[in-house]
């Protein structure tokens, strides 16, 4: 279980900056319980750093609370939270300077079973994609988000998600093929 780092006093109506906080502790806890684990996984897969993902997770919830955003329903609040997290990721990648252009070598040591290799190959291939491709693929295929939800979370036009997702899948397939992974052919 992910520890809940942010808690609200039951009577809190303004934050430290004097902005309205409209969500009470019970409503926040409900939202947090529903969204923390998948949002953390999304952040982790998008940035590749667990400590950074945890920092961004906490900052996303804090910013949502400070905004005073109420939302129409749980899905609207969840989409808003993912949008904040996506913006935090973008800000991080804009500031980040590449330390090295080297791609880490694959672990070829004996003793690892095939599933571990497959998982590390897929994880490595995902890590080599652009952040937006990773985000779209994660939201679509892990979170099961619709094209409209992906568009809202990433700040893109809904009409362009289908083609962007198609191209992101193609780029992932090329990365996997470069690692020697190919789809299994059905034998009729």
Domain that residue 155 falls in: 114-180
Examine residue 153 and state whether it is found in any structural domain, yes or no: yes
Examine residue 105 and state whether it is found in any structural domain, yes or no: no
- The predicted model gives 64-82 an average pLDDT of 85
**What is the overall mean pLDDT for the chain?**
76
- Domain limit, last residue, from 61, 96, 131: 96
- Domain limit, last residue, from 96, 126, 142: 96
CA dist 167 and 188 (Å) reads 29
56, 43 in Cβ contact below 8 A? yes
Least confident among 44-48, 51-55, 158-162: 44-48
Nearest to 8 by CA among 42, 23, 17: 23
Whether residues 61 and 120 share a domain: the answer is no
Q: pLDDT at position 33, please?
A: 94
Q: pLDDT at position 95, please?
A: 77
CA dist 30 and 22 (Å) reads 14
Whether residues 52 and 16 share a domain: the answer is yes
pLDDT band at 65 (very low <50, low <70, confident <90, very high): confident
Examine residue 65 and state whether it is found in any structural domain, yes or no: yes
Q: pLDDT at position 98, please?
A: 52
CA dist 118 and 103 (Å) reads 18
pLDDT band at 134 (very low <50, low <70, confident <90, very high): confident
Record the pTM: 0.54
pLDDT at 3 over 60: no
Instruction: Tell me which DSSP letter residue 69 carries.
Output: -
Count of the separate structural domains present in the chain: 2
Q: pLDDT at position 46, please?
A: 86
147, 139 in Cβ contact below 8 A? no
CA dist 92 and 66 (Å) reads 20
Examine residue 2 and state whether it is found in any structural domain, yes or no: no
- The predicted model gives 53-68 an average pLDDT of 90
pLDDT band at 103 (very low <50, low <70, confident <90, very high): very low
Question: Residue 7: how many CB atoms within 10 A of its CB?
Answer: 11
Examine residue 101 and state whether it is found in any structural domain, yes or no: no
Whether residues 14 and 77 share a domain: the answer is yes
Whether residues 89 and 141 share a domain: the answer is no
Question: Is 187 in a helix, a strand, or coil?
Answer: coil
CATH number of the structural domain spanning residue 39: 1.10.1740.10
- Domain limit, last residue, from 68, 96, 124: 96
């Amino acid at each position: 279980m992910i520890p809940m780092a942010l808690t609200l006093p039951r009577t809190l109506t303004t934050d430290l900056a004097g902005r309205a906080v409209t969500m009470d502790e019970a409503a926040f806890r409900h939202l947090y319980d529903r969204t923390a684990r998948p949002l953390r996984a999304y952040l982790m897969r998008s940035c590749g750093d667990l400590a950074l993902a945890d920092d961004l997770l906490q900052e996303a919830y804090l910013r949502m609370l400070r905004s005073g955003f109420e939302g129409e329903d749980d899905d609207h609040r969840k989409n808003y939270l993912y949008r904040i997290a996506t913006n935090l990721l973008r800000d991080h990648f804009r500031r980040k300077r590449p330390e090295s252009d080297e791609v880490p070598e694959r672990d070829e040591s004996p003793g690892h079973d095939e599933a571990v290799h497959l998982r590390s190959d897929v994880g490595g291939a995902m890590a080599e994609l652009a952040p937006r491709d990773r985000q779209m693929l994660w939201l679509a295929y892990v979170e099961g988000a619709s094209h409209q939800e992906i568009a809202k979370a990433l700040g893109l036009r809904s009409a362009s998600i289908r083609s962007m997702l198609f191209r992101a899948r193609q780029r992932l397939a090329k990365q996997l093929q470069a690692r020697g992974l190919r789809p299994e052919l059905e034998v009729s």
